[in-house]
Structure 1
Amino acid sequence: MAKEDSQKPQDESRRRFLKYSGTAIGGVVVGGVIGGIIGSSKKKTLTEEQPTKPETPIAKPEKDYNQALMFFSQDHFLITEAATERIFPKDDLGPGAKQLGVAFFIDHQMASAYGINGRDYMMPPFYKAETSQGYQLSFKRRELLTLGLEALDEYSADKNKKAFVDLTPEEQDLVLTAFESDEVKLKGVPASTFFVMLQNLTLEGVYSDPLYGGNRNMDGWRMRNYPGNQMSFLDVIEKDEFIKMEPLSLHDHLELG
């Protein structure tokens, strides 16, 4: 008991010191000069450290980095875009070649091994071929396409005093028809050979997998109700009725995988 009594004044003295010094047990701030300073400091710190609400990010428009020129000059690209739009124009059934990105598809093809006939035998001698023998010329595809595009512009300037891209759709049709029927003379190659190649490339760009630059958003497939590159048809293959499916690209399988 004597020991407990001897500690009592010391405990009361400690409590008195804590009370009048402006601090408090358990971290609770009390009045007084020191308490006011500490309280003000803590309030300021809490205000500064208060996390601000993150702003809602502004949705950025999606970019298609596949839509980039690899071979064409800007002028050749615009001529191709205008010519393919007349071969496959926009109508009530869906978008045309321009909206489907066909000119980008053709550009990418010309930048690839296909454009330089990488898998074809291209050594001389070269002979005039029959129509049934297909392509038998010394021109590489990219050379033939460039020659034809420049000829479109030159013929338009001679005939209409305007560049091909500045012609009306009806005038562009007449120019393309002149090439299709060999009314135009190209340098060492029938104009119809160029036209047929451009026509084939246009249709390939409309219906190829979007991975290759054309058929933007798979809208070319949607016009035909074509399902694209599905993983499997096991669940629908035995059904009698037509099953309309949302098309899938080869790129979709990379995301699913």
Structure 2
Amino acid sequence: MNRRAFLTTTAVGLVALAAGSASARSISGRLPWTAFAGEPPTPVTPGGWHFFNPREVVLMEAIVDRLIPADDLSVGGRDAGCVVFLDRQLAGPFGGAARAYMQGPFQEGLKTQGYQGSLTPSGRYRAGLAAFDKAVNDKLGARFETLSADQQDAVLTDLESGKLTLAGKVEASQFFALVLENTMEGFFGDPVHGGNRDMASWKMIGFPGARYDYRDWVDQHDKPYPRGPVSILGNIVEQQAG
């Protein structure tokens, strides 16, 4: 027997053995597995504040409402739950820099290297908000949340550019970038983490969320997705026609 004939005969035999030992079954009407059985999602703890103190809550709500202002397309950052998202993240592993190397030495790096300091994210927020609050009050004689929308935008623009100087270890533009990035994460992330309340941002952009299958719409470009988004927890928000 040559090599090719031997391999062919062996393969046929193995298939025959497998077919004889396996019992056929059909699956109909339900999935053959349970979603998240191995690692179920844990929704944020409702109610109260785990990291922010009352003054920081007021300040953060005013900030996120200017970073993501409400309009005819969506709610603003506060009503979308961005501050709740930030609060829970800062009270958890992210706030403590659980996945970052924090042993030093700490040296100022290049802009492309990101933050290189000794403060954890929670420490940066605590020091940054206090320094920002003081800087605004010293400059304008008023607290940020009492300013007009135009004044608030001007202050945040100065913070982003570094024109507004913050005391202590906080660099203004880096702090602004951190808050902006985290606010966007809260606005566009899954509601399981506390933000994107009622999947407002997903409805705004037509994102299907964690739907099991939407292949029939993948190739239909420039057409709005007709079905509402689904969160990781399985909550469904149906789109309104028109």
Specify the TM-score bucket, using the shorter chain as the normaliser.
0.7 to 0.9
Match of 1:250 among 215, 232, 237: 232
Distance apart, 1:65 and its partner CA: 6.2
Match of 1:232 among 198, 213, 226: 213
Q: Is the 8 A contact 1:67 1:104 kept in 2?
A: no
Percent of pairs identical after alignment? Answer: 33
Match of 1:66 among 21, 43, 46: 46
Letter in 2 for 1:229: A
- Unpaired segments of 5 or more residues in structure 1? 1-63
Higher Cα Rg, which structure: 1
Q: Distance in 2 between the 1:185 and 1:77 partners?
A: 19
TM-score, normalised to structure 2, is 0.73
Moved over 6 A (4+): none
* Residue of structure 1 equivalent to 2:170: 189
Q: Is the 8 A contact 2:59 2:144 kept in 1?
A: yes
Distance apart, 1:249 and its partner CA: 0.5
Q: Is the 8 A contact 1:227 1:244 kept in 2?
A: no
SS at match of 1:114: coil
Q: Aligned ranges for residues 21-40 of structure 1 at < 5 Å?
A: none
Match of 1:170 among 146, 150, 154: 150
Is 2:70 the counterpart of 1:90? yes
Q: Is the 8 A contact 1:164 1:172 kept in 2?
A: yes
* Residue of structure 1 equivalent to 2:21: none
Count the aligned residue pairs.
Answer: 191
**Would you tell me which structure has more helix in proportion to its own residues?**
1
> Residues 51-107 of structure 1, C-alpha deviation per residue, up to 9 Å, x if partnerless?
xxxxxxxxxxxxx96353111111101111100111111112221101101111111
* Residue of structure 2 equivalent to 1:198: 179
* Residue of structure 2 equivalent to 1:212: 193
SS at match of 2:94: helix
SS at match of 1:205: helix
* Residue of structure 1 equivalent to 2:239: none
